[in-house]
Amino acid sequence: MAVARAARRTTATMSGVPTVALPTNVGTLVVQAPHEKGTVSSIAQLFTVLGATVLDSAHFSDPVSRRLFQRIQFDLGLGPDRDALERELGALASQQALQWRVCYGDRRKRVGILVSKQEHCLYDLLIRHRAGELACDIAVIVSNHADAASVAAHFNVPFHHVPVTQATKVQAELAAAAVLESAGVDLVVLARYMQILSPALVARFPHRIINVHHSFLPAFVGGNAYRQAHEKGVKMIGATSHYVTAELDQGPIIEQATIRCAHRDTVDDLVRKGRDLEKQVLAAAVRWHLEDRVQVHDGKTVVFD
């Protein structure tokens, strides 16, 4: 249940991109724990005792897994410092088997975007970022084609062209990973990047790689989803954003959307309709991840709105 929203202050960077500046004492606590009586109240009491203010709080208890998921946005104000809060959280975690992390508003996440030839999702993310809708720094764009170089230049984002062939795929992936790690990215976004990532690369960024797939998963996995949908004569197509795992198109789903289609629609019509869905679900997933609204457990997600 929302209690209050933190006041935000908008500034502008040198590149003209508005950013949301949060006070250094505002943060977000994310918790997972076994569902036990008193856990939620214990966490609330911790903030009360420390003199911190809870700005927004939501929790969900899964009756199947018997697991608690919680997200709290708080303001330390003139009360405890970060170290004091985290010491108390650590002590509580040892007593009640909590898994927790705290993210502070003055530390913007760094995002790396991977893209191939289709640029609609890339443009959409960059425009939303410029409009101040995505609270992050877009650190780098990596592509296996040179086409997106002009797009990156227009938005003043570093661009790296890393060609991929069947013979050089392993080396190319290592090069792309080196670029991402050198840029210090916290999140990798596959904006219609038409390459399958190896399990080794996925393992470097656990639950920190978001992909958009052009179907309503688990239907029509792989690279020709719209053609598969057309061949099946479906009356509804969709798009799915999900975290990437070692198994192709099987990662935890973050967001999905659908649109009606008809017998008159060609494959090109489905592609045109689907592109709007792809942009919507990818942007939503990226924003929710940046705001620490997504938690993963047992192959599924809990997404706090």
Q: What residues have CB less than 8 Å from 168, skipping those under 6 apart? A: none
Dig out the tokens for 34 from the structure.
């076994």
pLDDT over threshold 70, residue 19? no
* Residue 23, pLDDT score: 56
Overall average pLDDT of the 96-105 stretch: 92
b/e for 134-168, b at 16 or more Cβ within 10 A?
Answer: bbbbbbbbbbbbeebeebbeebebebbebebeeee
**Catalytic residue flag (residue 147):** no
pLDDT over threshold 60, residue 57? yes
Overall average pLDDT of the 75-101 stretch: 90
Overall average pLDDT of the 109-121 stretch: 97
Overall average pLDDT of the 54-81 stretch: 92
- Please count the CA atoms within 13 angstroms of the CA of 183 that sit on its side-chain side: 25
> What is the C-alpha to C-alpha distance for residues 27 and 47, in angstroms, rounded to an integer?
12
Overall average pLDDT of the 239-263 stretch: 94
What pLDDT, in 10s, does the model give residues 265-286?
A: 899 999 999 999 999 999 999 9
pLDDT over threshold 60, residue 150? yes
> What is the C-alpha to C-alpha distance for residues 228 and 111, in angstroms, rounded to an integer?
32
Domains of the chain: 9-104 (3.30.70.260), 109-303 (3.40.50.170)
Overall average pLDDT of the 34-47 stretch: 92
pTM: 0.89
- Annotated catalytic residue: which of 124, 249, 265, 292? 249
pLDDT over threshold 50, residue 13? no
Cross-strand pairs, 260: 236
* Residue 160, pLDDT score: 98
CB atoms within 10 A of CB 294: 21
Overall average pLDDT of the 95-101 stretch: 92
